[in-house]
Amino acid sequence: MLGIVPASATDLHSALLSSTLYAPFAYVSRVDTGELLNRFDQDLVFVDGFLPINMFNTCAELFSSVFQIILIAIVSKEAFAVLPALAITLYLIQRVYLRTKQLRHMDLEWKGALHTKFGETCSGLVTIRANGWAEDMRLKFREKLDRSQEPFYLLYMVQRWLQLVLGLVVAGLAITTAGVAVSLRDKVVAGAWRLAWHFSTSRHWVLRAIARIALFERDTPNERRGKYIAAAGVASTWPERGHVRFENVHTSYETGSELSDLDWTLRGVTFDILPGRRVAVCGRTGSGKSTLLQALLGLLKVPKGRIVVDGVDASTVEACTLRQRLTTISQDSFVDSSTFREELDPDEQHSDDTLIASLIEPNVWDKISACGGLDGKRIEANLSSSEGQLVSIARLIASASNAAGSVVILDEATIWIMSPQFRQKNGFNKVAGKDHHIGAASARAGGRIRRDRGVRQGNVGRYRRRRGCHR
């Protein structure tokens, strides 16, 4: 048992993590962030913290009860007659007690809402202070805190009720068995049954947490399910030329077989990007620029039409392989506890001189050298948003020798293109080179990228027969 419990906890955590990581983007965008965090917090706390103790106590007390029942049956068969009545009583108590399992679900849901509110407050703290909303946010946070404590209080009351009822059962059993056998032995077996049942009901919460993890793994869609070309089936140099073609592409954040015209985020998008071109997709916020890039990266499914990259339908390529082959610099950079060396060269293929040169090119090395150089922690450097994306540019420069002819995708590039560090170096025109296809999505068209073609605004359908790229 001591080996099974840790192994099962590890497997459950891996299953929960894999289900979350490989869930489609459309699904993750609809699920509350606090709900996801709560699964890794509350459910795994029950599995890791309470499961070993409750399993051990339940097994120990059940074995003790069984052996004491055998001894009592040998010495006094009359005392054995009360066991069926005891079993029926415990079954009725369990039947009433298990109906309160929804309280646990309510507790997790309200704690998830509390986590979400806390995360939203932290991310929008500057806006809240600037608009004087601190007091309003404090009141809303207290309201959610009070609501999250309601199911917790009810759970506490139910557990106290269970302890009271089990104590009364033990007292009644002791009084009954005292008339047919020696009271001391019967009190011992009654106490053992009470302890075993108490630990068994405590284990019920752990089993409910395991059931929630199993249901989440089963019900969460997985983008790896389906028929894809294996990684070994895609050429190691793909995409060699960087020829991207959208053919009547329709995308939606909704799922299902029947979608109305209002559900489509992109509808009938058709255009052709030739190899080696720099293409800018410009438009106002919400016009579909990032959605276009998400469809190219496989983050959004394409129910109608297809996206072809160098003759290969992107929907037939496994998602991880597709995103590894297309170099992407997102609007928000991911920050973890790794060093700059690990972030720039995760596969350890380049020398320190190469990494430093890649940081000098976008003019961000001075800031990093003051924070410990390549061995400095990214999370401790306190880089701005534009500086963080410049580090991503440096990673692209470092790996450029291994990605000749690849496709480079930039999301909201003007945020960091207009930064002083990048403008001093004349930016991405020197970084990418002629063998890279560049696709940039931006709400502003005033950046410093020399783009070959682009459409700033207008209906995509109006530009289908024109040469260029559409928003």
Residue 408 has pLDDT above 50, yes or no: yes
Residue 253: per-residue pLDDT: 79
Q: What integer pLDDT is reported at residue 423 of this predicted model?
A: 52
Beta bridge partners of 454: 280
- Encode pLDDT of 66-104 as tens digits: 766 666 565 556 656 667 777 788 788 878 877 777 777
Q: What's the CA gap between 108 and 114, in Å, rounded?
A: 10
User: Is pLDDT above 80 for 340?
Assistant: yes
User: Which SS3 state, helix, strand or coil, does residue 84 take?
Assistant: helix
Q: Is the pLDDT of residue 168 over 60?
A: yes
Spatial separation of the C-alpha atoms in residues 295 and 269, rounded to whole Å: 11
Question: 236, 404 in Cβ contact below 8 A?
Answer: no
Nearest partner of 395 among 341, 447, 445, 439, judged by Cα = 341
The rounded distance, in Å, linking the Cα atoms of 357 and 353 is 6
pLDDT value at residue 397: 80
CB atoms < 10 A from the CB of 254, how many?
14
Q: Does the pLDDT value for residue 137 go beyond 80?
A: yes
CB of 470 closer than 8 Å to CB of 460:
yes
Question: Would you state the pLDDT for residue 78?
Answer: 60
Does position 375 have pLDDT exceeding 70, yes or no? yes
pLDDT value of residue 225: 64
Quick check: helix, strand or coil at residue 186?
Answer: helix
What is d(CA 101, CA 59) in angstroms, rounded to the nearest whole number? 23
Return the higher-pLDDT residue of 403 and 128. Answer: 128
Enumerate residues 6+ apart whose C-beta is below 8 A from 225.
none
Q: How high is the pLDDT of residue 230?
A: 57
pLDDT at 93: 82
> Among 29-33, 218-222, 445-449, which stretch is predicted with the lowest mean pLDDT?
445-449
What's residue 77's pLDDT?
60
- Asked if residues 290 and 232 have their Cβ atoms less than 8 Å apart, the reply is no
| Percent of the chain clearing pLDDT 90 (strictly above) | 0
pLDDT average, residue stretch 308-318: 86
pLDDT value for 273: 85
Q: Encode pLDDT of 268-291 as tens digits.
A: 888 888 887 778 887 777 777 888
Please state the rounded mean pLDDT for residues 117-137: 84
Residue pair 85/39 in contact (Cβ under 8 Å)? The answer is: no
Q: What is the CATH number of domain 4-219?
A: 1.20.1560.10
| pLDDT over 60 at 201, yes or no | no
What is the pLDDT of the chain when averaged over all its residues?
72
Mean pLDDT, range 338-343, rounded to an integer: 84
Highest mean pLDDT among 140-144, 346-350, 378-382, 433-437: 140-144
CA distance 328 to 334: 12
Please give the full DSSP string across 202-245, using - where no structure is assigned.
Answer: HHHHHHHHHHHHHHHHHHS--TT-S--B-GGGS-TT-SSS--EE
pLDDT for 207-248, tens place per residue?
566 667 777 777 777 776 655 555 556 777 788 888 888 898
What secondary structure does DSSP assign to 356-396, as a single string? HHHHHTTT-HHHHHTTTGGGSBGGGS---HHHHHHHHHHHH
Q: Are 282 and 457 in contact (CB under 8 A)?
A: yes
* Residue 456: Cβ-neighbour burial (10 angstroms; 0-12, 13-18, 19+): middle
CATH no. of 231-463: 3.40.50.300
Of the candidates 285, 308, 283, the residue with the CA atom closest to the CA atom of residue 295:
308
- pTM of the predicted structure, to 2 decimals: 0.61
Asked if the model's pLDDT at residue 166 lies above 60, the reply is: yes
pLDDT for the residue numbered 388: 80
Measured CA to CA, the distance from residue 338 to residue 377 in angstroms comes to: 6
Q: What is the pLDDT of residue 198?
A: 53
Q: Could you tell me the pLDDT band of residue 387, with boundaries at 50, 70 and 90?
A: confident
Tell me which DSSP letter residue 350 carries.
S
More confident residue, 49 or 36: 36
Could you tell me which residues come within 8 angstroms of residue 121 by beta carbon, excluding any fewer than 6 positions away? 128, 137, 141
pLDDT surpassing 70 at residue 452: no
Output the six-digit token pair for 187. Answer: 């009190």
User: For residue 300, how far is the Cα from the chain centroid?
Assistant: 16
Each domain of the chain, given as residue ranges in start order, spans: 4-219, 231-463
Q: Is the pLDDT of residue 330 over 70?
A: yes
pLDDT at 233: 66
Would you tell me how many other CB atoms lie within 10 Å of the CB of residue 422? 25
